[in-house]
Amino acid sequence: MERFSSDGVEIAYLDQGEGHPVLLVHGFASSARVNWVEPGWVDLLSRTGHRVISLDNRGHGRSKKFYDPEDYGPALMAGDACRLLDHLKIEKADVLGYSMGSWVVFFLALYYPRRVRRMVLGGVGSNFLEGSQHMDEIVSGLESHDPALIPTPYGRAFRAFADANKNDLKALAMCARSGYPPVKREDLMSLRVPVMVAVGTEDELAGPVAPLVESFFSAERLDVPNRDHMRTVGDKIFKQGVVNFLNLP
């Protein structure tokens, strides 16, 4: 991976392919490799005429780690993403986020609207409007000295995911403590970029998708059949739906 300095924060990123740029922003406890390379997204989008940029968010993967919640949050990560576009001299890109990454690309579109052509929000539904409801149990799971003693399902799931990806548990816990606040409906309505919301039909973490879709001035909805939060990312229906959406005139 290549690296650049985002206002003093070292951020690792990948830049592959040619064509209209698309920026991919991964979810919590994941990375560009886990979210986008291994499930085939980078290869697919490169083959379908896109320049694919994917970064490791601060606290994740090969990017710089922090141990204070004040150094995290989707607005700060959106700043990293915007500075990456500056670094690569990209004026405007399509953006695709998953889970935590959806908060990041939303704030990118909200704060830097001229930088976004189309936006895909994956793995979010009513939780986007209500704020994440499970961060306390996720933090508890990340900080547990023994994974076998974690009492809650989301705590166990995210601890197992973080361990499998060899993440820095302390950095992730601080990132989770920063929280993912409710997004204001007036901010959603203010966006005029084309939007797609894509969620697995069994994604209980995201919650119902209709309230989020209806909060935009205009948004497409993509249901990914029989997929939960963890299994939606690599689904072929999700991939093809995004390719079709990005290739619209």
- Encode pLDDT of 159-215 as tens digits: 999 999 999 999 999 999 998 889 999 999 999 999 999 999 999 999 999 999 999
Nearest to 26 by CA among 44, 8, 39, 10: 39
Ordered domains of the chain (ranges, CATH)? 2-132+181-246 (3.40.50.1820)
Residue 221, judged by CB atoms within 10 A of its CB (0-12, 13-18, 19+), counts as middle
> Is residue 200 within 8 Å of residue 224, measured between CB atoms?
yes
Q: What angle do CA 30, 34, 38 make, to 5 degrees?
A: 165
Instruction: Bin 245: left if φ > 0, else alpha if -120 < ψ < 50, else beta.
Output: alpha
> Is residue 14 within 8 Å of residue 52, measured between CB atoms?
yes
Residue 45, CA distances (Å) to 6, 39, 128, 221 in order: 25, 12, 26, 20
Q: What is the mean pLDDT of the chain?
A: 96
- Could you report the per-residue pLDDT of 13-27, keeping only the tens digit for each? 999 999 999 999 999
Nearest to 35 by CA among 90, 86, 98: 98
Q: Is it the case that residue 118 has pLDDT exceeding 80?
A: yes
Percent with pLDDT over 70 in the chain: 100
175 backbone dihedrals φ, ψ, rounded to 5°: -60, -45
pLDDT of residue 179: 84
- Could you report the per-residue pLDDT of 18-65, keeping only the tens digit for each? 999 999 999 999 999 999 999 999 999 999 999 999 999 999 999 999
Distance between CA atoms of 165 and 55, rounded to whole angstroms? 16
pLDDT of residue 10: 98
Output the six-digit token pair for 69.
């919640």
pLDDT of residue 134: 86
Output the six-digit token pair for 113.
């609207």
- Report the SS3 class of residue 4: strand
71-96: average pLDDT = 97
DSSP tag of 7 = T
- Could you report the per-residue pLDDT of 230-239, keeping only the tens digit for each? 999 999 999 9
How is 153-192 classified by DSSP, letter by letter? HHHHHHHHHHHHTT--HHHHHHHHHH--PPPPHHHHHH--
pLDDT of residue 249: 75
